[in-house]
Amino acid sequence: MELGLKGKTVIVTGGGSNIGRSVFLAFMAEGCNTVNAELDEAQGQKVVDQAKSLPGKALLVKTDVTDHKSVEAMVKKTLDTFGQVDILVNNVGWTFDRLFIEKPREEWEKEIKINYWGFINCTRAVLDHFIARKSGAIVSLGSDAGRIGEWREAVYSGCKGAVIATTKAVAREVGRYNIRLNVVCPGVTVPASANDMSKYSLWQESFKIFTPEVQQKATHAYPLRRLGKPEDIAGAVLFLASDAASFITGQTLSVSGGYSMM
Ligand SMILES: NC(=O)c1ccc[n+]([C@@H]2O[C@H](COP(=O)([O-])OP(=O)(O)OC[C@H]3O[C@@H](n4cnc5c(N)ncnc54)[C@H](O)[C@@H]3O)[C@@H](O)[C@H]2O)c1
């Protein structure tokens, strides 16, 4: 399917690791001007360098999605460089699995800041531009945790549920400007190698829990009997961001091998 993404300008937050990295490289392969809005500058640059042979143009902008001023500066830098923004991918997220009653408050606060404030800051920062152009697509990374509630991920589930609900609400408000917002919910999706992880990746800690043995056991909860690969998620993100999905808004798509069937 021709996605018609060539020449579009795309911001991918957290494009240094795992899913964001794969999404960044996929937009580069389509010939997009692709911004890697990443907190880990060295890892972000590594991924930009890996994309050198691809047809798109890459830009790394060190960004902290939890800080609205940093996000606004990143959007301005994108506009100064490429003249417009067509697509935002809200990819950054973070959690550490722990029972609700055992979680320290600082971990909840970190989860809320990164997963929900990060989404709000980035979404808000592109909307004036999208409204002025009467065009734009936002794809946010949710989680099946936000649809069904996942044990040991109570506040993270709440944040991802909030991303889903806020996506629907904003989609209702801005649909009249031809702006679409959708959510992709991965299941467990493990980085292919330690090279594909930033120093801020949730996998730095999560690999201590998701040992190869646990990963193997976890596949039994998936009807397709495997965990996700970053490329599985990138395909769905590109589709929803593209004109091929021009009549789809406010929707949530699980890409999780049937783990949740909503
Ligand atoms: N991997 C999974 O199993 C899984 C499952 C369900 C949902 N998700 C969601 O998918 C998204 C990507 O997951 P992942 O596994 O690739 O995550 P990851 O932690 O490996 O990558 C996140 C990236 O965001 C960057 N980042 C972290 N904090 C940032 C900040 N404040 N500002 C800018 N960049 C920052 C990190 O450096 C990293 O490169 C997240 O939203 C996550 O919640 C992942």
Distance from Cα 28 to the centre of ligand 1, integer Å: 19
Residue nearest to atom 25 of ligand 1 (CA): 14
Residue nearest to atom 1 of ligand 1 (CA): 189
Interacting residues of 216 by C-beta distance below 8 A, sequence separation 6+: none
Question: Residue 66 CA: which ligand 1 atom is closest?
Answer: 31
Name the residues annotated as catalytic.
156
pLDDT of 148 reads 97
Do residues 182 and 249 lie in contact, with contact meaning Cβ atoms separated by under 8 Å? yes
Enumerate residues lining ligand 1, CB below 6 A: 13-14, 16-20, 38-40, 63-66, 91-94, 114, 141, 143, 186, 188-189, 197-198, 200-203
In angstroms, rounded to a whole number, what is the distance separating the alpha carbons of residues 7 and 242?
12
Evaluate whether 12 touches 126 at the Cβ level (below 8 Å).
no
Q: Which fold has domain 9-255?
A: Rossmann fold (3.40.50)
**CA atoms of 88 and 183, how far apart (whole Å):** 12
Which of 194, 123, 207 is closest to 165 using CA atoms?
123
Q: What is the pLDDT of residues 185-231, one digit of tens each?
A: 999 999 988 889 999 999 999 988 899 999 999 999 999 999 999 99
58: which strand partners? Answer: 34
The pLDDT, as a whole number, for residue 181 is 99
Give the atom of ligand 1 at the shortest distance from the alpha carbon of 201. 19
Give the C-alpha separation, 245 to 259, whole Å. Answer: 24
Q: What is the DSSP track for 24-85?
A: HHHHHHTT-EEEEEES-HHHHHHHHHHTTTSSSEEEEEE--TT-HHHHHHHHHHHHHHHS--
Q: Which two tokens stand for residue 137?
A: 């697509």
User: Which runs of consecutive H residues, i.e. helices, occur in 83-211?
Assistant: 105-111, 118-133, 145-148, 154-174, 203-206
Asked whether the beta carbons of 190 and 211 are under 8 A apart, the reply is: no
Residue nearest to atom 29 of ligand 1 (CA): 39
Q: What is the pTM of this model?
A: 0.98
Out of 12, 40, 109, 200, mutate this one to test ligand 1's pocket (max ligand atoms within 8 Å of CB): namely 200
pLDDT at 1: 80
Q: Can you list the residues of the chain whose pLDDT is less than 70? A: none
- The pLDDT score that the predictor gives to residue 102 is 98
Identify whether the C-beta of residue 60 lies closer than 8 Å to the C-beta of residue 44. Answer: yes
Ligand 1 atom with the shortest distance to the CA of 15: 39
